[in-house]
Amino acid sequence: MSPPAYSFPKSHRIRSRADFSAVFEPKIRHARGPLVAYARPNNLSHPRLGISMAKAVGTAPRRNRIKRLLREAFRLHQHDWPEGYDLVIVVRPHEPMVLAEYQKLLTALMIKLHSTWQSRATP
């Protein structure tokens, strides 16, 4: 078996307004620190990521830095998470953290959201 490809192609991104709305609609969310994550199962063999960030988070360079770090954390851990979820991260204002902190936050959020969806699926 070959090792997983640590890539982040466009097919792993949520880009359309309809896809974002579909993830927000079930209102399944959890917050950790400055991140609020919404998730919804998809019918794909891989997770997808969307990032939503207001201008209140900071200047454009700060927002871009946070987005790059979140994408990198997703790219490195996507194979460790359950397959088939659309994940939208809403970022609250904060000072940018190191990559390891975002990795811990995203992993904790994904585990919590997955368990929430599992409990919904089995009555």
**Structural domains in the chain?**
11-118 (3.30.230.10)
pTM higher than the cut 0.85: yes
pLDDT digits 0-9 by tens, 3-60: 666 777 777 889 999 999 999 998 889 999 999 999 998 888 888 999 999 999 999 9
Rounded Cα gap, residues 85 and 17, in angstroms: 17
| pLDDT attached to residue 2 | 55
Residues 6+ apart with CB under 8 A from 15: 50
| pLDDT attached to residue 13 | 87
Band (96; pLDDT cuts 50, 70, 90): very high
Task: Tell me if 106 sits within 8 A of 39, measured CB to CB.
Answer: no
Mean pLDDT, the chain, whole residue set: 89
52 beta partners: 90
